[in-house]
Amino acid sequence: MVITAAGTALPDPSAPASVVDLAGRAARGALERAQVSASSIGVLINVGVYREHNTFEPAMSALVQKEVGINLDYIADPEPAAGFSFDLMNGACGVLNAVQVGQALLETGSTERLLITAADVHPGGDADRDTAYPYADLGGALLLERSADPRAGFGPVRHYTADRPTDVEGYLDTDTMGRHGRTTITVRREAGHAERLSEFAAHAAADYAREIGIDLDRTLVIGPTAAAATAPDGTGAEAGAGVGAGVGAGGEPHTAAPVLGYLRALDSVRREDHEQLLFVSVGAGPSAACALYRPEGW
């Protein structure tokens, strides 16, 4: 399973940020790059977490599907197909979870093309106005298809869970927020959170490399920059060149980070230096996910 195209989207400064708008624009950008129609998408998986007005129903995936124009009328559409969409939420690891599901769907022939969308926005619609909110308003999309090249595409997705309590939470504090609850979120991070996640990401990357049998000297790590740093046990996670995914003063990307990191890697990677890419996501849990990826033609 290969990434045919990818896209990201930032908020329109003239309007409040919306996960449906961001995910929709990122998806349409990916479809345009791939030169395929929205009606050719069989399945859409949406993995965003934070939404404007703390919206939980209906499923965001259905709204994104409508925004993109995927099989809105599978009888009248010139390419009739019954499009299917659903939400899958697992924080920062959501994109790689969706990749794992997508592998099964494409392998069984349930669909020919699969679209993953990820978008997070501040519940108030503008993350820049809340300096305590750590995440950027950002949308991303990956278009996935099967490849005829047996060496190309994603390897197995592996998940790792740390043996300690979570030190980050995002929740709606209804007891104290009152009528402002629709536009407010509480994100709690304990001191040293970033350092602990970086250490855990490095361990996960090193464990995955040993398990799958990949050479980190020839691998570009996409994920938290510190995931490419030396693991505390002396393993060789430092061998990969880390590609972070910061977007500036608006905060750090959350569920869309792997998409942004992938696009930045394609812009900077020298193929003669790297044989493959390694996606590493890490977040609350603490949990991490890793997946090997070889672009077509590498």
- pLDDT tens for 85-130 read 999 999 899 999 999 999 999 988 888 899 999 999 988 878 888 8
**Domain residue spans of the chain:** 2-150, 155-294
Q: What is the pTM of this model?
A: 0.87
CB 132 within 8 A of CB 106: no
* Pair of tokens at residue 3: 């990434």
Instruction: Region of 233 please: left (phi>0), alpha (psi -120 to 50) or beta.
Output: alpha
What is residue 186's predicted lDDT score, i.e. its pLDDT? 79
Amino acid at 169: E
What is residue 118's predicted lDDT score, i.e. its pLDDT? 97
What is residue 237's predicted lDDT score, i.e. its pLDDT? 38
What is residue 247's predicted lDDT score, i.e. its pLDDT? 43
What is residue 44's predicted lDDT score, i.e. its pLDDT? 96
Where does 155-294 sit in CATH, by number? Answer: 3.40.47.10
CB 183 within 8 A of CB 124: yes
Instruction: Identify how many contiguous H helices and E strands the chain contains and give both numbers.
Output: 6, 12
Architecture per CATH, domain 2-150, reads as: 3-Layer(aba) Sandwich (3.40)
What is residue 229's predicted lDDT score, i.e. its pLDDT? 38
Pairing of strands 2-9, 43-46: unpaired
Question: Are 2-150 and 155-294 equal in CATH topology?
Answer: yes
Amino acid at 281: S
Per run of 10 residues, the mean pLDDT along the chain (length 298 residues) is 96 89 97 93 93 82 94 69 85 95 91 94 84 89 93 95 81 72 77 84 94 91 58 40 47 91 87 89 90 91
